Amino acid sequence: MSSRPKKVVAPCELCHARKPVMKRPKTLQKLCKECFYHVFETEIHHTITSTQLFHRGERIAIGASGGKDSTVLAHILKTLNERYDYGLELVLLSIDEGIKGYRDDSLATVQRNKIQYDMPLEIVSYKDLYTWSMDEIVSCAGIRNSCTYCGVLRRQALDRGAAKLEIRHVVTGHNADDMAETVLMNLLRGDTARLEKSCAILTQSSGSPIKRSKPFKYTYEKEIVLYAHYKKLDYFSTECTYAPEAFRGTARTLLKSLEAIRPSCIVDIIHSGEHFVLREKKKRTAQYKNVKKTDEQEINADGSVSLSNGKKEFKDGNRCENCGYLSSNRICKACVLLAGLEASRAKVTIENDTTADGAAKLGKELEQLSF
Ligand SMILES: Nc1ncnc2c1ncn2[C@@H]1O[C@H](COP(=O)(O)OP(=O)(O)OP(=O)(O)O)[C@@H](O)[C@H]1O
């Protein structure tokens, strides 16, 4: 009986001893589990130390959604804090947007993470802060702009949650893919003001006591998934019930195609973004003025959404006259948005009261509201 020669598997490219179990997405190196853990954790430690992201004794709120990125972030920060004695106090901060069948389930995961990682957990809800849940917003404003509403409100909610905890530094699980997508989106929109700022690892508005940072700035999404999988971390993997941001989806598809051909393109795009500096604040020339910009949405006071003409300038440090939150305008975006929702709710109530066939008319009115 003839026996076929056994295929020899080359050992892990780092330890040259153990059996490789994966091709590392970032470098395509064939690695064993232990070496993958080591490079993954060490690279994040290097990002944190080389940028002097934290200081000893600092209290850090981890924006915890229960998803893979923030769960791995909580796990990694706990691991590195203990291993390298950063001297940080870590707290989980979750925002409950009020999305039935999605956020309630993911928050149950964060509740378990709280016990697994032995960290305090603070949950702040849209309903308490704004009197509107996302489900209510979507039923009033429609699904089309749900990401715009949710993004504006969440940003403010994280700041308010941190302020409540008297914490001045919020970390989020935004990863390298998110950052490269943002660079691509800003590039494709010609939004040079945002492009210049989009790759900062740490941001802070002047006048605000709260810093925000992204320790996973150079960490590939695929590696986060692999790490969570091999470490058997407890995370929630369902997509949000509402439509994903359309233009980001397009940038994501483009990035994934590029990554398949050239894995380094994700860090290369970030590198390009980091070195992008505007020579001078140029006004848009006449040739661009009439070009329709389909993805720059502005929410008007009446609740309608219109398109921006690209003239906006960033002004840091002003405060909203209504709620006191930092804003580049007289009234912050969240207040404009909420006023629009209230106006729509009032309009629907009045119309509803004066008609005989209430339910049908109400349904029609909701469909016609110009969100
Ligand atoms: N409801 C929330 N509460 C607290 N933090 C949040 C919440 N939603 C998002 N974040 C923070 O913002 C980061 C990016 O959020 P995004 O909505 O892009 O989710 P994601 O890429 O799916 O991340 P994750 O896997 O952590 O959910 C998250 O990693 C988390 O740190």
Q: Distance (Å, rounded) from C-alpha 36 to C-alpha 303?
A: 49
Token output for 122: 């603070």
Give the residue whose CA is nearest to atom 9 of ligand 1.
65
Q: Distance (Å, rounded) from C-alpha 157 to C-alpha 123?
A: 10
Is residue 69 part of an annotated ligand binding site? yes
* Cβ of 68 below 6 Å from ligand 1: yes
Give the residue whose CA is nearest to atom 24 of ligand 1.
67
Is residue 159 part of an annotated ligand binding site? no
What is the model's pLDDT at position 281? 62
* Cβ of 182 below 6 Å from ligand 1: no
Query: CA distances (Å), 369 to each of 53, 133, 356, 359, 363, in order?
Result: 45, 19, 20, 16, 10
* Cβ of 67 below 6 Å from ligand 1: yes
Q: Distance (Å, rounded) from C-alpha 94 to C-alpha 89?
A: 16
Is residue 105 part of an annotated ligand binding site? no
Q: Which CATH number fits domain 34-175+214-238: 3.40.50.620, 3.20.20.80, 3.40.50.300, 3.30.70.520?
A: 3.40.50.620
Q: Distance (Å, rounded) from C-alpha 1 to C-alpha 358?
A: 85
Q: What H or E segment, with its residue span, contains residue 91?
A: strand 89-96
Instruction: Measure 219 CA to ligand 1 centroid, in angstroms.
Output: 15
Q: Distance (Å, rounded) from C-alpha 152 to C-alpha 179?
A: 18
pLDDT tens, 313-326? 445 568 899 988 88
Instruction: Measure 83 CA to ligand 1 centroid, in angstroms.
Output: 25
* Cβ of 174 below 6 Å from ligand 1: yes
Instruction: Measure 281 CA to ligand 1 centroid, in angstroms.
Output: 32
Query: CA distances (Å), 290 to each of 196, 251, 295, 309, in order?
Result: 24, 24, 15, 9
Contact between residue 315 and residue 303 where contact means Cβ atoms under 8 Å apart: no
Instruction: Measure 63 CA to ligand 1 centroid, in angstroms.
Output: 7
User: DSSP string covering 175-204, please?
Assistant: -HHHHHHHHHHHHHHT-HHHHHHTT-SEE-
Domain boundaries, the chain: 34-175+214-238, 298-368
What is the model's pLDDT at position 27? 96
Instruction: Measure 23 CA to ligand 1 centroid, in angstroms.
Output: 27
Q: Which residue has the tokens 């849940």?
A: 133
Give the residue whose CA is nearest to atom 28 of ligand 1.
173
Q: Which residue has the tokens 């153990």?
A: 18
Closest C-alpha among 152, 181, 188, 172 to residue 327: 152
Sort residue 207 into left (φ over 0), alpha (ψ -120 to 50) or beta.
left
Q: Distance (Å, rounded) from C-alpha 94 to C-alpha 124?
A: 6
What is the model's pLDDT at position 355? 43
Segments of the chain scoring below 70 in pLDDT: 1-3, 281-317, 347-371
pLDDT tens, 71-90? 999 999 999 999 999 999 99
Token output for 98: 């009020």
Q: Where are the alpha helices (DSSP H) in 102-191?
A: 103-116, 126-130, 134-141, 146-164, 176-189
Name the CA dihedral angle for 342, 245, 240, 231, rounded to a multiple of 10 degrees: -140
What is this model's ipTM?
A: 0.97
pLDDT tens, 31-42? 999 999 999 999
